[in-house]
Structure formats: structure tokens, C-alpha cells
């Protein structure tokens, strides 16, 4: 435990690590306060592209946790950065929420529903057959297919909802083209996090609740991994995977003595 506490910084997943729905998890406030009091660098990563950093900051503030927007990094932001490095000034047809479009606009990637360079798909509640039909036609005409994250489902207060992987699947099936997914477990997300913190991989720990996205992303980024059991993974699930986290905790509160 001392080795984790000695780290210069932390990269944390959000849902299942920091909160469930609209409820802060036990020990999170103590953990965040400990990081602030000890001048630890930290960033929260989320595979969800639906909210901007400012909106995420406001969400946590409503739950009683005050964290400034510069501590958040989303798959929408990672997708925009990826496309900007691949093809500066490119255009995209987007199926997603406003936060995804804003992230693209911030990198001067503009909307195009006629002959875009990319079709970009993220989580959205306005998915329709019309948009699906349009995306398929554009990919068949040569647009490259990009998914913000590969998650097939996501938790909500009312149960699970289809996430980006599920929304991309019909386009892949209809066109025979495979999407490139930017979010975890793609190590691009963690590398962006390391750059934001200004830390080397050995100086940080990555905390997540999923073996198939968080822990594998940490392992492939050569950072120490911490699995918390406050999310979707139970202790008995760990042996189902051919890799293991370096540390296993009940929740982030365990790091600062919160039981």
C-alpha cells in the first residue's frame, strides 16, 4: 500500500470508482481530499463521451465533491485529439451528443454529412434508423469509421443502456468495415492522461473497476493498476481473465484508511 501512496499522481476511472449514478461512493471524498492535501496530481478518465469536463465538474459538485474541470478527460476529447493528429482539418459525420461535437469543434474538426473523412459514433439517446442509414452510406463511400469507446453497454439509474460498441455494430455489419475505437482499453486514453499530469508511467497508478477496459489499459500502458470492487467486478471474476491487477481494493477509501 505504501508504494501506491508514494505515487506522484493518480488516473482514475469514474463510474464504479467515484460514483454510481448520482451517488458518491464511500471513501471517495476522503481520497480526493487526501490527494489535494498531499499535492498529488490526478485526472479522472471516462469512456463516456456524453458530457464535457465542465458538466462532469458540475455533476460532482451536485454530489458534494468540488473538482475543477481541468481534472477530467473524456473519450470524446481523446477522439478529437486522435483525429486531429491523424488528419488535421478533417471533417466528420457525428452520431452522438453535443459534448462530442464540441470536442471535435475545439480541434477545428467540422461537421459534414455529404463527404466526410470520418463517421464518428458515441453514446447518444437520439440514435435513429435515419442516422444509421446515413452513416452506412457514408462509410460505403469511403468515410473511416471511428467509435469513441468500445463499451457495448453502460449503466444507468434505470438499468443498462446500449453504449457505443452496440451503436457501431450495425454499421460494421452492414458495411463490412471495422471501427477504430479510441477509448479504453486503447492505451491512448491513459497516455493522454499521463501527458496531462506531466508524469512518467512509473510515477502514477491507474484505478479502475473493470478488468476488460481499465486494468488491461493500465497493463498495456505499463502503469501500476488498482482494481476496486466498488463497481462491476467481483473478486471471484478476476480469475476469469489471463491478467491481473497489481492491487485489489474494496474501494478508493481503502487507500486512506476509509473502510
Q: Is the pLDDT of residue 227 over 50?
A: yes
CATH for 2-47+184-256 is 3.40.50.1000
The rounded distance, in Å, linking the Cα atoms of 154 and 205 is 24
Please provide the average confidence, as pLDDT, over all residues in the chain: 94
In this model, does residue 104 exceed pLDDT 50?
Answer: yes
Task: Please give the average per-residue pLDDT across 89-96, as a whole number.
Answer: 98
User: What residues contact residue 183 under an 8 Å CB cut-off, 6+ apart?
Assistant: 47, 49, 75, 78, 79, 147, 148, 149, 150, 151, 164, 189, 213
- Catalytic residue selected from 13, 117, 214, 224: 13
> Is residue 1 very low, low, confident or very high in pLDDT (cuts 50, 70, 90)?
confident
For the chain, residues classed under CATH 3.40.50.1000 are 2-47+184-256, 76-181
- DSSP code of 173? H
pLDDT tens-place string over residues 17-65: 999 878 899 999 999 999 999 999 999 999 999 999 999 999 999 999 9
Whether residue 70 lies in the annotated active site: no
Q: CA-to-CA distance for 223 and 241, rounded, in angstroms? A: 18
Q: Per residue in 114-140, pLDDT tens?
A: 999 999 999 999 999 999 999 999 999
Residue-level pLDDT at 20 = 85
Q: How confident is the model at residue 232 (pLDDT cuts 50, 70, 90)?
A: confident
Give the mean model confidence (pLDDT) for residues 227-255. 95
Catalytic site includes residue 13:
yes
pLDDT of residue 185: 94
Q: CA separation (Å) from 139 to 14, 16, 18, 97, 114?
A: 32, 35, 37, 20, 11
Is the per-residue pLDDT at 259 higher than 50?
no
CATH number belonging to domain 76-181 = 3.40.50.1000
Interval 146-204: pLDDT, tens: 999 999 987 666 767 899 999 999 999 999 999 999 999 999 999 999 999 999 999 99
pLDDT of 9 > 80? The answer is yes
From 24-28, 74-78, 158-162, 221-225, the region with the lowest mean pLDDT? 158-162
- Does the pLDDT value for residue 213 go beyond 50? yes
From the list 15, 117, 151, 224, the catalytic residue is 15
Amino acid at each position: 500500500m505504501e508504494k501506491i501512496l508514494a505515487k506522484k499522481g493518480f488516473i482514475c476511472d469514474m463510474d464504479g470508482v467515484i460514483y454510481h449514478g448520482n451517488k458518491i461512493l464511500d471513501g471517495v471524498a476522503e481520497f480526493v481530499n487526501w490527494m489535494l492535501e498531499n499535492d498529488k496530481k490526478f485526472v479522472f478518465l471516462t469512456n463516456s463521451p456524453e458530457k464535457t469536463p465542465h458538466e462532469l465538474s458540475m455533476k460532482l459538485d451536485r454530489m458534494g465533491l468540488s473538482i475543477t474541470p481541468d481534472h477530467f478527460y473524456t473519450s470524446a476529447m481523446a477522439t478529437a485529439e486522435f483525429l486531429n493528429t491523424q488528419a488535421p482539418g478533417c471533417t466528420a459525420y457525428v452520431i452522438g451528443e453535443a459534448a462530442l461535437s464540441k470536442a471535435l469543434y475545439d480541434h477545428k474538426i467540422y461537421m459534414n454529412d455529404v463527404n466526410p473523412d470520418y463517421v464518428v459514433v458515441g453514446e447518444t439517446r437520439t440514435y435513429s434508423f435515419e442516422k444509421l442509414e446515413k452513416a452506412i452510406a457514408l462509410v460505403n463511400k469511403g468515410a473511416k469509421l471511428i467509435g469513441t469507446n468500445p463499451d457495448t453497454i453502460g449503466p444507468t439509474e434505470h438499468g443498462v443502456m446500449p453504449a457505443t460498441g452496440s451503436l457501431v455494430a450495425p454499421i460494421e455489419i452492414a458495411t463490412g468495415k471495422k471501427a477504430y475505437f479510441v477509448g479504453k482499453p486503447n492505451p491512448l486514453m491513459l497516455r493522454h492522461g499521463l501527458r496531462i499530469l506531466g508524469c512518467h508511467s512509473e510515477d502514477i497508478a491507474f484505478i479502475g473497476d473493470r478488468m476488460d477496459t481499465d486494468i488491461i489499459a493500465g497493463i498495456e500502458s505499463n502503469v501500476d493498476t488498482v482494481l476496486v470492487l466498488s463497481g462491476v467486478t467481483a473478486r471471484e471474476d478476476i480469475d476469469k481473465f489471463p491478467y491481473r491487477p497489481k492491487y485489489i481494493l474494496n474501494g478508493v477509501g481503502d487507500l486512506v484508511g476509509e473502510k
